Chains A and B, each alone.
Chain A
Amino acid sequence: MTERIPGFSTLAIHAGAQPDPTTGARATPIYQTTSFVFESVDHAASLFGLQTFGNIYTRIGNPTNAVLEERIAALEGGTAGLVVATGHAAQVIVFHCLMQPGDELVASKKLYGGSINQFNHAFKNFNWNVVWADPEDISSFERAISPKTKAIFTESIANPGGVITDMEAVAQIARRAGVPYIVDNTLATPYLCKPIDHGADIVVHSLTKFLGGHGNSMGGAIVDAGTFNWSREKRYPMLSEPRPEYHGVVMHETFGNFGFAMACRMLALRDIGAALSPFNAFLILTGIETLPLRMQKHCDNALAVAQWIAQHPKIAWVSYPGLPGDRYHSLAKKYCPNGAGAVFTFGLKGGYEAGVKLVSNVQLFSHLANIGDTRSLIIHPASTTHRQLTDAQKIQAGAGPDVVRLSIGIEDKDDIIADLEQALAD
């Protein structure tokens, strides 16, 4: 019974995408429709009752989006996926399925700033309370656990780069606490790192970044690893209790190891409504076909740029785990052996003014607030995304006045370096 298991690049192209059953179209068609006709009243009843598989309404599911869902689930080694409008929407949907008012989540304090905002502000309005832990001191995760804790959340490579989470250590703490471990794998992508192999129970993505990869589409994804025993823990009523929304169906009992993905779709996305446009799904799918090629080039370029910057006289420090001697270098080698990603920060000796000048002087780099584009991107957080914070808050957030963040693209590395060289020259 030796059936061949395809490699990552083959899955990146083929997983989920079969020629269209009616037309034979080879590229995945864009099913730009809100709704799907029922075969009969009974077919409609079976679909609404979750008794059969199929399409009803694009807020709940769409065949183009479904190809993307299976593609990402296959690449991450999960049992099922769900795609939604944005990375932030993915996080709301995941926590909607886990948290009741008054519950807590333990999160790494080294996260994308937008996620820190979401947990501190939007989640607080739902009375979901975040307790911050420090990935530099793994025991702080253990100390942050309380009887109200429902999940642990970290990034694999943390935005704005530089920090690699010791996922296996965090996963052990989650297992002991009997809570699922959620990893945001946006910066690494499954090409560099598969968190499920290191103990994650749920993976989330902003598809807006490297998976889409071309800076043209917002998107988010959730992958169910199929590893968490919701019925045993009995603390997650969305998974282990009869659901009034569906005449008493119990999600985990009915759908087994893809029960969490089903709860995210049928209990959260259905009611919260942050559906992904099928057109965006198509663009992101096209992006994923070249993920292995792009991601390797992103990483190779980033390493070359980081090495060049590290020896530049106007630079005080560089934080890139791909550099030997970086404090996260050994974790990078363990978790991301093919490269440490393409996003990193460095400090300018000239401080705030030098940062403003650099972003004004660049000609190839684009000055904007995204990461994970084919194009090289630059931002000076102190004068933009973190402008409203006090200096002390800026430093705490890793956005001190001297800090510049780069997202290295897949142009020729000599051109990327030449642009930085001329921009730093005056």
Chain B
Amino acid sequence: MSVVAPPDEAQAVDGPSEVATPGLERQAERAKARQGFLLGLPAILYLLVFFVIPLGVVVAYSFATRTRSGRTELRDWNLNAYARLGDDIVLTVAWRSLWVAALTTVICILLAYPLAYFISTRSAVTRNLLLVGIMIPFWSNFLIRTYAWRVLLDSDGLVTQMVQATGLGDGRILFTTNAVILGLVYGYLPFMVLPLYAAIERIDWSLVEGARDLYANGWGAFRRVVWPLSKPGVVAGSILVFVPSFGAYVTPAILGGNKEGLLGSYIVLQFLSARNGPVGSAVSVVVLVVMLLGTLLYFRAGGKNL
């Protein structure tokens, strides 16, 4: 500060008697921002080391060169790996993944909606009990639960035997895409139920009464009031189920067959067996972009206030 400071500026450094000026306001804002940054620093460092840098590596790999021996070398940047994405095998696997993810999502909506509706119309105590019930599966490891399905679906597994007993078929679905969908629905159903519950529970019940008063029958009130108002929950749940289903690896690896691969296993295949880092990375990048678009959609649909 200059020696001949204007009077009000001189006052400003006196502490309690500070007079607010645009300069001071900006200064205070900057201090606050700095404080926020310091608080976030550990998390920022963590994400940088374990997320941003590996992601950068994957993106770099997708433009890198593969040597004859299968090594990935970071030189002669090219789009060869992306050109391979048009291959029949990649397209087939991508479409199948898309289909599996879409079907999983639809089945989850059909199962979760009535359940979420039921839960959100119970008394507070029942509601909390049921919600805890929904989350119980999270208490045990996802991998173990998926292996449990393998046991159940085995040729002499409990589920297979029960299906055979009812005479509906031979019940042998292990190592098929159907088994994968079953496993995915099982694994991701809670991620559909919870946002749906949150959305339905928030609906003002008097709106339904209003609709009934205006000549809507039960179905009309649902179709025109409850469903549209719960849509943010449907969108949120769909993205929470679709995104991980699309790139799923564990469930298809354990319950799916070799014949009908999905994107997750295709990427692993490229890195490990085919020793083609660039193609594996390129597929990963595309999957990532698709998921990112999905997530953007989620925020656009008002998922923020979930």
**A, B bound:** no
Taking Cβ atoms with an 8 Å cutoff, the residues of A that contact B are: none
Taking Cβ atoms with an 8 Å cutoff, the residues of B that contact A are: none
